[in-house]
Structure 1
Amino acid sequence: MSGWTFDIKDMSWVESTCSQVDFLVDELKLSGSERVLDLACGFGRHSLELARRGYSVTGVDITAEYIADARRTAGREDLDARFIESDVLDISYRSEFDVVLNLADGAIGYFEDESDNLRLFDVIATALVRGGKHLMGVCNGSHARRHFPCRHWEEGSRSISLADFKWLPETSRMLYSGHVLKFGETLQRLEQDAPGDGIRLYTVEELKSIFAARNMIVRKTYGAYDVAVPASDDNITLLAYSVKGDVQYEMALR
């Protein structure tokens, strides 16, 4: 996606980082000893919060400025977190992590070529140990098909985040542009972001098929960072919790 700057730190949803980490620790039933890989980690908001709680974390992002910022924060707080500047498709971990995260999209669907989008799922599955856990947070393809185009705003304590969503049904891609209006600053004329090629969105059923092909099974899906909110066409957010293991055996038990 184009247009990401450090203004992202002022977006309303960044304020939910601690509660989002609370959710993933509880739902994935983490003990504190797990090795965590955070793909497309941005400036490391989830990675850093997990490291503050005692986890050993590796964050990967292609944006040099974000990685430099995350490294400075980790160094300043003496955290067990390392940050790598890399395209997520170029890493080659094999059975090294107990948990892999793709949050706030985590680059899922960001590639123009669908074969590259699927390669990211290969990276996820390969990096996990057997029994390893994965959590992803993306926009729900089923919601997009039903409700896009639309506009959305969200208020935080420091700003209002505005988003404009469009939909390309022939490619299942979302076109997104967004703005952050900081409280106390003079409002300038909003310039429309160039949406680029858009983001490939997936339905729950598509994700189940993609993960099954990689010996992973989707355990649970949610429509928010809230166990009481199931994934549905009415919720733009889609969280999917998956586990690496023997898919054929688990399916036979159902």
Structure 2
Amino acid sequence: MPTLPPEQPGPPEPHRARRTAESFGADARRYDEARPSYPAGLVARIVAGSPGTDVLDVGCGTGIAARQFQEAGCTVLGVEPDARMAGLARTRGLPVEVASFEEWDAAGRTFDAVTAAQSWHWVDPAVGAAKAARVLRPGGRLAVFGHVFEPPAEVAEAFAAALRRAAPDSPFSGQPARRPLEAYRAGYAKTADQVRATGRFHEPEQWQFDWERPYTRDEWLNLLPTTGGLTRLDPGPLTAVLSAVGDAVDALGGGFTMRYTTLATSAVRAGAA
């Protein structure tokens, strides 16, 4: 299977693929339950490197990352284009305004940090970094981050083959079973170039956090339907893909340990207000 959900940087101009971008709310509760949180060290580094605790979370989804910043003592506002995702986030205590970041009206508000967890690739690159600079206070931090993960080869290859059989017309069916970490680092380097081009930030930094998480068969099959390659599949093809992947996990003894890498591009807003 792809080394991370296909909504990560990789497909050309993913911000234009709006049907996929707005498909994750079809099962918002599963998304919130199955998607992993972010390394505590990443959250701590962003908080420590920001001038205050007012955070704007772009594409907040169900609030997975936002809740971690709240637990770290921050006041967080979410912006999310999918009303279904926003609705669940609100039930978990996160204030959310429903809009794409490009169209969102800051109404004069500014923040100490702008974060984007697994979401920045859905933002128009011609707009995103410049708008982040406008809503950040001087010295405020932009932090764009997301997970890369590599399931065992047996699981990855079973996923890729099943997706090709079940959904040959899917734009994700032609992707290789596994992609090197360098391909994802290149995506974050491109984000750094976009931030640099605004002339409004100090030199961007690239961060990396490596960690592991065990998965049972059921836990992995619960997460897979929340990924961009599967959110729009009809029930029949989806069942076929999950069955093939489940068989592969069973062959490994019913579970495996996932090696995660969380990558980030971060930069500090330069200049006066």
TM range (shorter): 0.5 to 0.7
Give runs of ≥4 in structure 1 deviating > 6 Å.
160-165
Residue equivalent to 1:136: 144
- Distance in 2, Cα, partners of 1:138 & 1:245: 24
Match of 1:45 among 39, 64, 70: 64
Higher helix share: 2
* Residue 148 of structure 2 is aligned to residue 153 of structure 1: no
Match of 1:241 among 266, 269, 272: 266
Whether the aligned pair in 1 keeps the contact of 2:210 and 2:261 (CA below 8 Å) is no
Residue equivalent to 1:109: 121
Residue equivalent to 2:128: 120
Whether the aligned pair in 2 keeps the contact of 1:42 and 1:67 (CA below 8 Å) is yes
Q: Deviations over 1:81-128 (max 9, x none)?
A: 411111111113256100000111x2x2336xxxx3221222211110
- Distance in 1, Cα, partners of 2:72 & 2:121: 30
Residue equivalent to 1:82: 95
CA RMSD of aligned residues (A): 3.9
- Distance in 2, Cα, partners of 1:241 & 1:162: 33
Match of 1:35 among 45, 54, 71: 54
Match of 1:9 among 17, 32, 35: 32
Q: Which has the higher contact order (CA 8 A, sep 6+)?
A: 2
Q: Secondary structure of the equivalent of 2:69?
A: helix
Q: Deviations over 1:157-194 (max 9, x none)?
A: xxx999979xxxxxxxxxxxx9xxxxxxxxxx965794
* Residue 112 of structure 2 is aligned to residue 98 of structure 1: yes
Unmatched 5+ stretches in structure 2: 1-6, 8-19, 173-183, 212-259
Match of 2:86 among 67, 72, 87: 67
- Distance in 1, Cα, partners of 2:139 & 2:96: 25
Change (3 A) 1:60 1:162: farther
The count of residues paired between Structure 1 and Structure 2 equals: 183
Whether the aligned pair in 1 keeps the contact of 2:50 and 2:141 (CA below 8 Å) is no
Whether the aligned pair in 1 keeps the contact of 2:52 and 2:112 (CA below 8 Å) is no
Q: Give the % identical residues.
A: 17
Change (3 A) 1:163 1:71: farther
Q: Residue 245 of structure 1: CA displacement?
A: 0.5
Moved more, 33-42 or 236-245: 236-245
Residue equivalent to 1:210: 194
The amino acid across from 1:153 in the alignment is P
- Distance in 2, Cα, partners of 1:209 & 1:25: 25
Change (3 A) 1:162 1:91: farther
Whether the aligned pair in 1 keeps the contact of 2:46 and 2:143 (CA below 8 Å) is no
Unmatched 5+ stretches in structure 1: 75-80, 141-150, 155-159, 166-177, 179-188, 227-234, 247-254
TM-score by length of 1: 0.58
- Distance in 2, Cα, partners of 1:162 & 1:135: 33
